[in-house]
Structure 1
Amino acid sequence: MGQLTVSGRDTAYVWVGRDTGGQPDPAAVLLRRAGALLLGRAETAVVLTHDSAGRPVVQVDEVTGPVELAVSVSRTAGLVVVAARRGGAVGVDVERIRPLPALALAHRWFPPAELAWLGDRPEAGRTVDFLRLWTAKEAVGKALGRGLRDGGLRRLMPTPGLSLRLVPGVEPVRVGHPPLGEGLVLAVAGYAATRVDVEVVQGPGHGLTAERSASVERTSLPVVVRGN
Structure 2
Amino acid sequence: MAQLTVSGRDTVHVWVGRDAGGQPDPAAVLVRRAGALLLGRVATEVVLTHDRDGRPIVRVDDATGSVELAVSVSRTAGLVVVAARRAGTVGVDVERVRPLPALALARRWFPPAERAWLGDRPEASRTADFLRLWTAKEAVGKALGRGLRDGGLRRLMPPPGLPMRPVPGVEPLRVGHPRLDEGLVLAVAAPAPVDVEVVQWAGHGATAERSASVERTSLPVVVRGN
What TM-score does the superposition give when structure 1 sets the normalisation length? 0.82
Confirm whether residue 202 of structure 1 aligns to residue 200 of structure 2. Answer: yes
In the alignment, what sits opposite 2:43? 43
Bigger relative CO (Cα 8 Å, ≥ 6 apart): 1
In the alignment, what sits opposite 1:86? 86
CA contact (8 A) 1:164 1:195 kept: no
* Structure 1: distance between partners of 2:172 and 2:52: 24
Change (3 A) 1:195 1:133: same
Per the TM alignment, residue 75 of structure 1 is displaced from its structure 2 partner at its CA by 0.5
Per the TM alignment, residue 54 of structure 1 is displaced from its structure 2 partner at its CA by 5.1
Moved over 6 A (4+): none
What is the CA deviation profile of residues 188-223 of structure 1, one whole-angstrom value per residue up to 9, with x for unaligned ones?
A: 000x2x321110122699xxx8xxxxxxxxxxxxxx
In the alignment, what sits opposite 2:188? 188
Amino acid at match of 1:200: V
* Structure 2: distance between partners of 1:21 and 1:163: 33
In the alignment, what sits opposite 1:114? 114
Q: What is the Cα-based RMSD across aligned positions, in Å?
A: 2.3
* Structure 2: distance between partners of 1:200 and 1:21: 22
Q: How does 1:1-228 map to 2 (within 5 A)?
A: 8-51=8-51, 55-190=55-190, 192=191, 194-202=192-200
What is the identity percentage for the equivalent residue pairs of Structure 1 and Structure 2? 82
Change (3 A) 1:154 1:68: same
* Structure 2: distance between partners of 1:60 and 1:84: 14
What TM-score does the superposition give when structure 2 sets the normalisation length? 0.83
CA contact (8 A) 1:180 1:204 kept: no
Can you give the 5+ residue segments of structure 2 that lack an aligned partner in the other structure?
Answer: 1-5, 204-218, 220-226
CA contact (8 A) 2:54 2:145 kept: no
Per the TM alignment, residue 45 of structure 1 is displaced from its structure 2 partner at its CA by 1.1
What is the CA deviation profile of residues 9-44 of structure 1, one whole-angstrom value per residue up to 9, with x for unaligned ones?
A: 211001111111111111111111111111111112
Amino acid at match of 1:120: D
* Structure 2: distance between partners of 1:82 and 1:180: 14
